[in-house]
A = this chain, B = another copy of it.
Amino acid sequence: MAGSPRRAASRRLQLPLLCLLLQGATAILFAVFVRYNHETDAALWRWGNHSNVDNEFYFRYPSFQDVHVMVFVGFGFLMAFLQRYGFSSLGFTFLLAAFALQWSTLVQGFLHSMHQGHIHVGVESMINADFCAGAVLISFGAVLGKTGPAQLLLMALLETVLFGINEFVLLSLLGVKDAGGSMTIHTFGAYFGLVLSRVLYRPQLEKSKHLQGSVYHSDLFAMIGTIFLWIFWPSFNSAPTTLGDGQHRTALNTYYSLTASTLGTFALSALVGEHGRLDMVHIQNAALAGGVVVGTAGEMMLTPFGALAAGFLAGTVSTLGYKFFTPILEAKFKVQDTCGVHNLHGMPGVLGALLGVLVAGLATHEAYGEGLDSVFPLVAAGQRTTASQAMHQLFGLFVTLTFASVGGGLGGLLLRLPFLGSPPDPQCYEDQVYWEVPGEHEDEAQGPLRAEEPDTRA
C-alpha cells in the first residue's frame, strides 16, 4: 500500500539526507554571513544612544506575528481541506516554510542587505522571509497532493532564489511599489506553481478522484485557515510599509477590501451554485481575494470606496474563476490546480498589480502632500512623473510573470527527476504514502479510513 520496498528504502534516505544537506548548508552560510543588526546586537544598539522603547521591535513585531500566523496556521489549515491529506498539508507547510525562512534570509540578505560582507538581521528580515515563505506555499497549493516532500523542498530551494531576484528587480532596480506583494508574492507564487503543475501534468489523475474532495470536518479545519488569513491580511499588507500613516492606511484599506470580497463571494457563490446553494470552496478561498487585490495599491491613497470596489471585484472574479475557469484550465491547458491558486492568487494578483498602475498614475501632489516621499519617493524627488511610475508598475508585472513562468518551468523539469519519488496517480492526495496514519496497522482489512472509527470493544 505504501509502495514497493525499494521506493520506501529510497524515501527513507532521501528526505532525511535532503533535510540534513539543506540545513547543513544554510547553517554554514549563516555562520559565515549572518550577523545581528544594530537593533538586535547588544553592543551596536547601545552605541546608538537610543531609548529602549524606540527599538524597531515594538513597531514591527506585532505585524510580524500576524504574518507568521498567516503563513503557518493560515496556509496550513486552508490546504487541510482534503479528506485524507491533512497531515501532509499541515506537515509539509511546516517543513517548507521552516526551510524557506532560513534560505530566504540568506537570499534576500545577499540581494538587499549586505553590508561589509555581512547580512544583518532583525524583525524586518523576519517579515521578508515570511513573505517569501508565503509565495512558496502559494505554489505548493497548485501541486498539493501530487508531490512528495523531497520534491517540495527542491521547489522551495529554487523558488526562493527566483523570488528574491524578482523582488530585487522590482523594488530596488525598477522602483516599483508593492508592499503587500500583489506582484512579488501572489502573482509570482501563483504562476510559478501553475507552470510547474503544467510540467508535472498527470493525465491519469482521476485515479485518485475519490480523494480529491473534502469531508465535512476537513472543511471546518480549512475554515481555521481561511479565517486567520482573512483577519490578519491587513497586517500582511501593511507589515513592510514605512511607519506612520502608510502602515495605518494600508491596514485600513485591506480591512475594507476584504469585507467587500466576502459579500461579493457569497453573492456569486449562491448565484452560480446548484439550487442556489453556497459552495465552501468559494467561501474558503474567494472571500480572501480582497486581501490580494490591494497588495500593491493598499499603501496608496486608494480611498475607502476604492478599497470596497476593488475587493468586491476580486471576490467576484475569484468565485467565477473557481466555478468556470478551473475546469477549463485543466481540460484545455492541462494545468491541475489543486487549491485553485489561479483564482485566489493569480487573477487577483494581476488585478492588484493593474490597480496599482491605475492608482499610481492618478496620484497627485495634493492628495499625498508631504507623504508623497514615503509612498512614491522617486516621484517626490522629481525623478519620475506619476505616469512614469505607473508604467514602471506595469513593467514590474510583466517582469514578475516572466520570472514566475520561466522559474516554474525550470522547477517542473527539476521535480521530474525520476529518483525524487513522485507519488503514483492512485496515491495522490493520500497521507499514507508519507505518514504513519493512526489506526491503519490495527486492522488493515478495513482500509485507510478505519482510523476514523476506532474499535474500542476490548
A122 in contact with B439 (CB, 8 Å): no
26 chain-A/chain-B pairs, Cβ below 8 angstroms: A11-B270, A12-B270, A16-B267, A19-B266, A19-B270, A23-B260, A23-B264, A23-B308, A36-B303, A41-B371, A42-B370, A42-B371, A43-B368, A47-B369, A55-B243, A72-B230, A83-B454, A98-B259, A99-B263, A102-B256, A123-B251, A210-B454, A277-B436, A278-B436, A280-B438, A452-B452
Interface residues of A in 111-138 (CB under 8 A from B): 121-123, 126
**Residues of B contacting A251 with CB < 8 Å?**
57, 61, 123
Scoring A residues 240 to 281 as 1 if CB is less than 8 Å from chain B, else 0, what string do you get?
A: 001111111101100110111011101110110111111110
B371 in contact with A267 (CB, 8 Å): no
Does A458 make an interface contact (CB < 8 A)? yes
**Residues of B contacting A252 with CB < 8 Å?**
36, 40, 121-123, 126
Nearest CB to that of A455 among chain B residues?
A: B210
Does A15 make an interface contact (CB < 8 A)? yes
**Residues of B contacting A10 with CB < 8 Å?**
276
**Residues of B contacting A259 with CB < 8 Å?**
98-99, 101-102
**Residues of B contacting A267 with CB < 8 Å?**
15-16, 19-20, 23
B287 in contact with A94 (CB, 8 Å): yes
Taken together as a complex, chains A and B put the C-alpha atoms of A9 and B270 apart, in Å, by: 11
Scoring A residues 270 to 301 as 1 if CB is less than 8 Å from chain B, else 0, what string do you get?
A: 11011111111001000100000000000001
Does A52 make an interface contact (CB < 8 A)? yes
Does A86 make an interface contact (CB < 8 A)? yes
B8 in contact with A276 (CB, 8 Å): yes
**Residues of B contacting A260 with CB < 8 Å?**
23, 27, 98, 102
Report whether over half of chain A's contact residues are helix, strand or loop; otherwise say mixed.
helix
For chain A, the count of residues having a C-beta within 8 Å of the partner chain is 152
**Residues of B contacting A436 with CB < 8 Å?**
273-274, 277-280
Taken together as a complex, chains A and B put the C-alpha atoms of A262 and B153 apart, in Å, by: 13
Taken together as a complex, chains A and B put the C-alpha atoms of A59 and B215 apart, in Å, by: 42
Does A457 make an interface contact (CB < 8 A)? yes
Nearest CB to that of A430 among chain B residues?
A: B456
Does A205 make an interface contact (CB < 8 A)? no
Does A163 make an interface contact (CB < 8 A)? no
Taken together as a complex, chains A and B put the C-alpha atoms of A372 and B276 apart, in Å, by: 56
Of B215, B264, B279, the residue contacting A19 (CB under 8 A) is B264
**Residues of B contacting A34 with CB < 8 Å?**
304-305
Task: Specify which of A220, A264, A437 lies most central, judged by the most chain B CB atoms within 10 Å of its CB.
Answer: A220
